[in-house]
Amino acid sequence: METHEIRRRFLDHFERAGHQVVPSASLVSEDPTVLFTIAGMAPMKPFFLGQATPPSQRVTSVQKCVRTLDIDNVGVTTRHNTFFQMAGNFSFGDYFKEGAIRHAWELVTSNRDEGGYGFDPDRIWVTVFESDDEAARLWEEVAGLPPERIQRRDADDNYWSMGVPGPSGPCSEIYYDRGPEYGREGGPVADEDRYLEIWNLVFMQDIRGESAGSGKSDFPVVGSLPRKNIDTGMGVERVALLLQGVDNVYETDLLRPIIATAERLSGRTYGAPGGHADDVRFRVVADHIRSGTLLVADGVTPGNEGRGYVLRRLLRRTVRAMHLLGVERPVLAELTAVVRDLMSPSYPEVATDYPRIERVAVTEEAAFLRTISSGSRLFDVAAAEARSAGSTAISGSTAFQLHDTQGFPLDLTLEMAAEAGLTVDVEGFSRLMQEQKDRARADSKARKGHLTDMTEYRRLLAQGPTEFTGYQELETEGTVRGLLRDGVRLPRVGSGETVDLVLDRTPLYAEAGGQEADAGLITGRRASAEVLDVQKVDRKLWVHKIRVLDGELSEGDAVVASVDPEWRLGARQAHSGTHVVHAALRQVLGPDALQAGSYNKPGYLRLDFSWSQGLSAETRNEIEEVSNLAIRRDLPVRVLYGTKAEADALGAIALFGETYDETVRIVEIGGPWSVELCGGTHVEHSSQIGPIALLGESSIGSGVRRLEAAVGIDAFRSLAAERALLHQIAGSLKARPTDLPARIDAMAERLRAAEKELERYRAQQAAASVAALADGATQVGGVSLVAAALPDGSAGGDVRTLATDIRGRLAGRPAVVALFAATDGAVSFAVAVSPEAVSAGVRAGDLVKAFAPEIGGRGGGRPELAQGGGTDPAGVERAVQALRSALSATSAR
């Protein structure tokens, strides 16, 4: 049975059982404490916590998930995947244990002709929490399982919580016996390779407290949930493994074709005798390229932190694994195309957005191939330093630096070290990696522990959502529903206090969709307050952060909430301007230039978009002109409401990672010219935007560019400031503005000519210095020595070149040249040794070690040439003496 069919049967089964099918949420998590959606229940978390109302009491989904905590185990074992699909059914206060067990048993064991999976009931085992007699009884009554195939386990295995105080409960896991060839008898408690877990049913009935210790289950149960819930998760890939009769998930229908492509590209065979190392690499390729492709499809772009860093690591580990398989040419375009074909039947966005996905992957691959080149140079320096220091190992800190700053995989460092006859301090590297992970975990834990208590906000939301009137008016009468500070309800607040205010109705726009919150005032009969910020809770409750200016505000007060009209005008201009620039961008560059984020506030807009190269001045000018022509045409701006399907039919553009309600708001500018899903405030006609002036364009990550622009009166001010600057420069150069380009070109040409003349003079000076220094060589132990501190500027910034030139003048005899140049409180030096001196036992690196401490420095290199620097120019004379002493001692030997 194909994986897509397994997925379809799951959703069909639960839809027939009265569940509402909800689509998979994005892999980009809305939870600020995690980077990705890591479990099937993660999108349901607000419903379990009471922060939001579920669309139905019964819900089912197949959720895309990514976990990278065990990324280093991917491929090494056949169990670990970074991307997986978790099928789940959820009950919010509806059915409980009996219903969950019945639904699962029917799907797992029903005949395939009836829509089930057709597993042999006699090979099913289950586990329950050690004290959950009810679940054990229900498995006997509902499923007819004999007691000997119902095993009890402790809280570490069969009790679930979110890891923080809140909902929790016992769970029951379903296992399938794969047969004696996979391990020993005795059920899941004896062998979880033979008895493979496929489904976990969580019976959410308790409220857990704070952890009492460091153990996973070391916390008290402090109460019972008022409404019992069900949360289940079935591993789609594990079910596919069993139903397709293969040994591991990498041999299922959605991964094995990727391995086959890697086999074709590399000429090597998966599963070949003695090929365990290659098998690991094939599995890494299959896992990582699938995960990376799906992350890009959900709007993630490679970067140096957060989600972008994880994606970058996945793509680069793919390239590295292919490199170890003997493929050094670019391969990601071919591999992502295979993923597109495999995954698009369930996730069609992978196919529709493939041109952008391919571009991001190919750009990152090219960048990594350049990184391998630059990282190799850094490795060469580190290897030279290790040898000059008499070490045979690359330090753990160097390996970690290559990994952390250059994206250099440890296995690449190990391979290059072995080729250079060196080892790597893997233990030191691992220690630094662990410290980095510990810091990340501590940061995550701190973020989890400092969330504001949402209890009171949920109680306010239970009274009904805030009515937003800001699309129709700038002033609204409302009632104070709640006043809160740090989640604590207050009956009243006075002058000077800053608190959260919740109204039943408000015209003030809450920050969303890249648009800043409105500024405004709250006025009552006895008080007034300024609005500092407006945010949403669960997208339905408007929370105003206010500072009371005078008087006293109390719950239940009648107030008037008003928007600053100038602020709103500027916000509308900027948000509509963002849509106009986006449409202009796509008109100039093509439909692949999709928005990847935005921010706008009065007078300013910022638009991030998917593109792999910088824009020329001509292209920027064209985008700016197309935008302003659209404004001059006075295009109508129309707001429509409809379903997501209707919006898609209109060609409306949705922002990656955004969550939309069942009814969406569609903003058209000029009919089909610009159609986007948007909840922001907008002008009625494009001419009301005013001028748009592009301020700049830059890269913010691999495959993502950023445009910034001034809008309306701020655009005029920006252009006026540029005009003033232009006239100032023209005045200084005593030229008309139109003559400035020619005048500046002429000045630049004269400057280049002067620099060439100066360089020629320096070359002459350096040549004279070479001759003079060579002629001044002294004999130290049978070796001609030139050791000198160069006057400031005479080295032309290159002591190494001068040292090798002088050595050339001393050709045919044992010679050592050591030059020192002091600049800005630092010293640079180079030591060049002739072949004859090297044959006599003189090594440049040994001489550096002898004198470098005198100038507070270090250096290294080859026996015939070494260089470095120091921090104490006053020690140069002592360094020369130390060099002479070391040379004398070497010659004496």
Mean pLDDT in order along the chain per 10 residues (893 residues): 96 96 89 81 80 87 89 76 94 95 96 94 96 96 95 92 82 96 94 94 90 70 87 95 94 96 96 90 96 92 82 90 90 96 94 90 87 76 80 87 74 76 89 78 49 76 92 96 93 95 97 94 95 91 96 95 96 97 95 87 93 90 96 96 86 71 89 93 96 92 86 94 92 90 92 88 75 89 90 61 90 93 85 93 91 88 88 91 90 67
Q: Are 189 and 195 in contact (CB under 8 A)?
A: no
Chain centroid offset of residue 156 CA: 31
CA separation for the pair 53, 849 (Å, rounded):
71
Q: 3-245 and 568-721 share one CATH topology?
A: no
CA separation for the pair 106, 104 (Å, rounded):
6
Q: Is 685 assigned a ligand-binding role in the annotation?
A: no
Q: What is the pLDDT of residue 44?
A: 86
* CATH tag for 455-563 (out of 2.40.30.130, 3.40.50.720, 3.20.20.70, 1.10.510.10): 2.40.30.130
* Residue (of 67, 83, 73, 74) closest to 34 by Cα position: 67
* CATH tag for 3-245 (out of 1.10.630.10, 3.20.20.70, 3.30.930.10, 3.40.50.300): 3.30.930.10
CB atoms within 10 A of CB 10: 24
- Residues 448, 454, 455, 456: is their CA dihedral positive or negative? positive
Distance (Å) of CA 70 to CA 79, 83, 160, 274: 11, 12, 20, 25
Q: What is the pLDDT of residue 342?
A: 97
Q: Is 579 assigned a ligand-binding role in the annotation?
A: yes
* Residue (of 782, 791, 800) closest to 859 by Cα position: 800
Q: Are 262 and 29 in contact (CB under 8 A)?
A: no
Q: Are 434 and 396 in contact (CB under 8 A)?
A: no
CA separation for the pair 5, 203 (Å, rounded):
28
Q: Is 682 assigned a ligand-binding role in the annotation?
A: yes
For residue 205, the surrounding DSSP H or E stretch is: strand 195-208
Torsion of CA 468, 473, 475, 479, to 10 degrees: -30
Q: What is the pLDDT of residue 309?
A: 83
For residue 499, the surrounding DSSP H or E stretch is: strand 498-503
Specify the amino acid at residue 369.
Answer: L
Q: Are 500 and 466 in contact (CB under 8 A)?
A: no
Q: What is the pLDDT of residue 449?
A: 40
CB atoms within 10 A of CB 762: 15
Alpha helices in 453-564 (DSSP H): 455-462
* Residue (of 199, 220, 217, 201) closest to 209 by Cα position: 220
* CATH tag for 766-892 (out of 1.50.10.10, 3.40.50.2300, 3.10.310.40, 3.20.20.220): 3.10.310.40
CA separation for the pair 135, 171 (Å, rounded):
9
For residue 881, the surrounding DSSP H or E stretch is: helix 876-892
Q: What is the pLDDT of residue 773?
A: 87
Q: Is 171 assigned a ligand-binding role in the annotation?
A: no
Report domain extents, the chain. Answer: 3-245, 255-448, 455-563, 568-721, 766-892
Alpha helices in 298-425 (DSSP H): 306-324, 332-343, 349-352, 354-388, 396-406, 410-419
Highest CATH level, class, for 568-721: alpha beta
DSSP 590: -
- Residues 269, 270, 271, 275: is their CA dihedral positive or negative? positive
